Chains A and B, each alone.
Chain A
């Protein structure tokens, strides 16, 4: 622990799209010399699972317009709710990610660990959703709100995503 600036991120969302901002910011901040802590709580905790099975939903997301046949198309909710639409949208998004040279979440997570980003898994969420420690990757420590707050008081930048 030197004079490096610190950043903390509360990670609350576990969908494929929302998994990006915390991991992109964490890895970049670490690359720029900051000490970074990520606190994974509620649905964000799923991002620490050994096997990531991340999905997106177009339901209730009018801002999500996908480039299809040269157009920007949003999915009407009545279509989004049909079985298979979510997995089709997920497959399309993963395809797009690969094609555009965007890193996978697995890759960013590995880079974050390699960059010594501190990861805290929320103990309460573990209990609530009945996650077992062995469901998660090696590395994250278990902690609660007080553990996060202590980090936050020592950080110049605190984000909630």
Chain B
């Protein structure tokens, strides 16, 4: 179970990233955030976001038209 859940379904670029950044800021280091999104662009975007910010993309999966991401705050 993630420490926090962010429902970004129905939101388009760049809102899922912006909302995720905001949610991560409120987490302690090591905390995890689960994000639900329907924007297919979010898959590559969360990979790029994590590579650039250094946060860990623990999991990225798709199913039933919903993309689920698990990010661990590292910094």
Contact = CB atoms under 8 A, between A and B. Distances in A.
Interface of A: 24, 27-28, 31-33, 100-103, 111
B58 interface: no
A32 B49 contact: yes
A31 B10 contact: no
A27 B18 contact: yes
Nearest to B50: A32
Interface string B12-50: 111101101100000000000000000100000000110
Given A24-B13, A31-B14, A32-B52, 4 more contacts: A27-B18, A31-B18, A31-B20, A33-B52
Contacts of A111: 18
Q: Interface extent on B, as a size class?
A: 10 to 19
A101 B37 CA distance: 11
Nearest to A111: B18
Contacts of B17: 28, 31-32
A101 B52 CA distance: 25
A76 B28 CA distance: 55
Most chain B CB within 10 A, of A33, A100, A101, is at A101
A32 B13 CA distance: 14
